C-alpha cells in the first residue's frame, strides 16, 4: 500500500506575529497540546501554523490574515499556508502545480477559531473549527457609565502594551479622521504617552485629504476643542492617483465598501511614506464600528436590527462558521475585511495596530445589553456608540471628547460625488478586475 507523505509549506512571515506574553514555540505547543480556549490568552497579533504528524492546526488574531491551499502531489498532499493569495500562487507555479491554482480554492482561516486539517490523502476530510474566543453577551446592566469606563479602560491598556513594545525614539502616527473611533484611539495614545513620560513630539495625527472632503475640518474642530491642533498633519492626495486595480491587487478582494476604504488607506499610507521614508508605526480605530454595531443597517438588505443585535460578533465574524452565508474563501465580517487596513499598511512597510481588535476590548463590547438599551430602535443603536465612548473617554482618560456624526473613511477624505467618479459602484466590475489578476 502506498504511504502518503504529508507536507506543510509555511510561507508566513514570523515578523508578522507579535506576541507579548509567549514565544512562537510556546504558542505552537499550546495549539497542539492545550484546549482551544488557551489560545484566547495569546496576547498580541498572530497568524500561526503548528504541525503534529498528519494533523495541522491554524489560528489567527482578528488583525492578521491567514490563508491555506491544499495541493495534490503524487507522493501525498501539500498544505501551503501564507498571509496572501499571491504568495500561494507563486509557490504553486514555482513547484509546477500552477494548474491546480484558482483564487477561490484558497481558504481563509476565520478569526477566533482553531482550524484543524488532517493530511490523510484523498479524499481529504473537511477541516474542523473550534472557537477559542467566546465572550459572554449582555453581562452589563443598562447603566452606560460603567460600560464606557470599562470599554475605554480596556482600550487604554492595549495601547499601553503596544507603546511599551516600541522603541522610545520611534515616532507614532495615528490615522485620524476626527471621528469617534480614531478620536478615542488618538486620545488614548496621547494619555498613555504622557503617563509614560514619552516625548509627545513623536506623536502625529495623520489626516487624509483630497481637498473636497469634510474630514480635515472635522479634525481641526476635534483637536481645536482640546487645544491639540499641533498634532494634526494633513496628508494631501489626488483622486487621479487612485488606481482601483492596484487596490484590488493589494487587498485581494472586490467588495465595494472595502475597496473604497482600502483605496483611501492606500492613498494615506503612500502619502505618509513619501513624506516620511523611515516611519514604521501606525495606530488606527478600525474595528470600533464593528464592536458597537454602528453600521447603516438600511444599506444592507440582508440585515435587520434584530439580526445585528441578536447574533454574537456579527460584524466581526459575519454569519459565522458553518452557516450557508459563510465564505470559505474569505471568512466573514471584519475577519474578512480587515485586509482593507492591514494590507495597505503592510504594502507600504508600516506596522499597523488597532486596539479595537483585541479580545479584551471586544469582550467588553459584546457584554453590552444592546437589546435593552435600544429596544430594537435603529436610531437608538446609532446613537449608542458616541454616548458610550464619550462617557468612557471622560471617565478613563479625562477628556471631553467631541463626538461627531458617523461618516465612513471614504466619505470623509473626499466628497461622495468625487468618490463615485473614481471607483466603480458595481461589485461585478470589481470582481472582474480581481479575477483578471489571475487570468
Domain positions in the chain: 7-131, 144-436
Strand 203-209 and strand 232-236: pairing? parallel
The DSSP symbol for 8 reads E
SS3 of 9, please? strand
Q: Give the pTM.
A: 0.95
Rounded distance between C-alpha atoms, residue 26 and residue 41, angstroms:
12
Please say whether the dihedral angle defined by the alpha carbons of residues 190, 191, 192 and 196, taken in this order, is positive or negative.
Answer: positive
The predicted structure's pLDDT at residue 123: 67
The separation between CA 65 and the C-alpha centre of its own chain, rounded to angstroms, equals: 9
The predicted structure's pLDDT at residue 1: 38
Asked if the bond preceding 123 is cis, omega within 30° of 0, the reply is yes
Report yes or no: 212 and 181 within 8 Å, Cβ to Cβ. Answer: no
For 265, the enclosing helix (H) or strand (E) is helix 256-275
The predicted structure's pLDDT at residue 331: 96
SS3 of 354, please? coil
| Polymer length of the chain | 439
- From first to last of the 439 residues of the chain, give the pLDDT tens digit: 345 557 899 999 999 999 999 999 999 999 999 789 999 999 999 999 999 988 999 999 999 999 999 998 777 788 999 999 999 999 999 999 999 999 999 999 999 999 999 988 666 778 999 999 999 999 999 999 999 999 999 999 999 999 999 999 999 999 999 999 999 999 999 999 999 999 999 999 999 998 887 889 999 999 999 999 999 999 999 888 899 999 999 999 999 989 999 999 999 999 999 999 999 999 999 999 999 999 989 888 889 999 999 999 999 999 999 999 999 999 999 999 999 999 999 999 999 999 999 999 999 999 999 999 999 999 999 999 999 999 999 999 999 999 988 867 666 677 777 777 777 778 899 999 999 999 8
The predicted structure's pLDDT at residue 4: 54
The listed CATH number (3.40.50.620, 3.50.50.60, 3.90.1720.10, 3.40.190.10) that belongs to domain 144-436: 3.40.50.620
Rounded distance between C-alpha atoms, residue 106 and residue 190, angstroms:
41
Report yes or no: 308 and 333 within 8 Å, Cβ to Cβ. Answer: no
The predicted structure's pLDDT at residue 314: 96
Give the Cβ contact number of residue 72 at 10 Å: 12
The DSSP symbol for 438 reads T
Rounded distance between C-alpha atoms, residue 90 and residue 40, angstroms:
33
Rounded distance between C-alpha atoms, residue 264 and residue 274, angstroms:
15
**Per-residue CA distances from 191 to 157, 178, 188, 233, 358 (Å):** 11, 17, 5, 19, 19
Rounded distance between C-alpha atoms, residue 287 and residue 368, angstroms:
16
Rounded distance between C-alpha atoms, residue 394 and residue 396, angstroms:
6
Give the Cβ contact number of residue 325 at 10 Å: 9
Is 155 exposed, middle or buried (CB count within 10 Å of its CB: 0-12, 13-18, 19+)? buried
Strand 281-283 and strand 351-353: pairing? parallel
Amino acid at each position: 500500500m502506498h504511504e502518503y507523505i504529508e507536507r506543510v509549506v509555511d510561507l508566513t512571515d514570523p515578523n508578522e506575529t507579535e506576541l507579548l506574553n509567549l514565544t512562537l514555540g510556546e504558542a505552537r505547543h499550546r495549539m497542539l497540546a492545550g484546549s482551544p480556549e488557551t489560545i484566547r490568552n495569546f496576547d498580541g497579533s498572530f497568524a500561526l501554523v503548528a504541525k503534529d504528524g498528519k494533523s495541522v492546526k491554524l489560528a489567527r488574531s482578528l488583525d492578521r490574515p491567514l490563508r491555506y491551499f491544499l495541493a495534490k502531489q503524487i507522493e501525498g498532499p501539500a498544505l501551503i499556508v501564507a498571509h496572501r493569495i499571491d504568495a500561494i500562487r507563486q509557490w504553486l507555479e514555482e513547484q509546477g502545480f500552477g494548474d491546480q491554482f484558482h483564487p477561490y480554492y484558497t481558504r481563509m482561516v476565520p478569526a477566533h477559531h482553531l482550524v484543524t486539517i488532517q493530511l490523510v490523502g484523498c479524499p481529504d476530510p473537511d477541516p474542523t473549527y473550534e472557537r477559542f474566543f467566546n465572550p459572554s453577551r449582555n453581562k452589563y446592566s443598562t447603566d452606560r457609565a460603567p460600560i464606557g469606563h470599562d470599554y475605554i479602560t480596556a482600550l487604554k491598556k492595549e495601547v499601553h502594551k503596544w507603546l511599551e513594545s516600541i522603541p522610545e525614539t520611534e515616532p507614532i502616527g495615528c490615522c485620524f479622521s476626527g471621528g469617534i473611533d480614531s478620536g478615542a484611539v488618538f486620545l488614548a495614545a496621547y494619555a498613555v504617552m504622557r503617563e509614560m513620560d514619552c516625548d509627545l513630539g513623536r506623536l502625529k495625527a495623520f489626516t487624509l485629504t483630497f481637498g473636497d472632503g469634510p474630514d480635515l475640518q472635522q479634525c481641526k474642530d476635534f483637536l481645536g476643542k482640546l487645544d491639540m491642533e499641533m498634532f494634526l498633519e494633513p496628508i494631501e492626495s489626488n483622486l487621479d492617483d487612485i488606481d482601483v486595480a492596484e487596490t484590488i491587487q493589494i487587498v485581494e478582494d472586490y467588495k465595494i465598501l472595502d475597496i473604497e476604504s482600502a483605496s483611501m488607506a492606500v492613498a494615506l499610507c503612500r502619502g505618509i511614506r513619501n513624506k516620511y521614508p523611515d516611519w514604521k508605526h501606525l495606530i488606527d480605530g478600525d474595528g470600533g464600528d464593528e464592536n458597537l454595531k454602528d453600521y447603516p443597517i438600511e444599506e444592507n438588505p440582508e440585515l435587520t436590527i434584530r439580526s445585528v443585535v441578536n447574533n454574537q460578533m456579527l460584524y466581526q465574524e459575519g454569519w459565522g462558521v458553518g452557516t450557508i452565508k459563510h465564505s470559505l474563501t474569505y471568512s466573514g465580517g471584519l475577519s474578512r475585511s480587515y485586509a482593507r487596513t492591514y494590507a495597505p499598511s503592510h504594502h507600504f512597510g508600516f506596522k499597523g495596530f488597532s486596539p479595537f481588535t483585541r479580545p479584551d476590548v471586544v469582550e467588553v463590547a459584546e457584554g453590552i445589553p444592546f437589546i435593552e438599551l435600544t429596544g430594537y430602535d435603529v436610531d437608538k443603536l446609532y446613537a449608542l456608540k458616541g454616548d458610550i465612548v464619550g462617557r468612557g473617554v471622560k471617565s478613563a482618560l479625562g477628556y471631553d471628547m467631541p463626538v461627531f456624526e458617523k461618516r465612513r473613511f471614504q466619505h470623509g477624505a473626499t466628497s461622495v460625488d468625487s468618490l463615485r467618479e473614481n471607483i466603480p459602484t458595481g461589485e461585478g466590475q470589481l470582481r472582474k478586475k480581481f479575477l483578471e489578476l489571475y487570468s
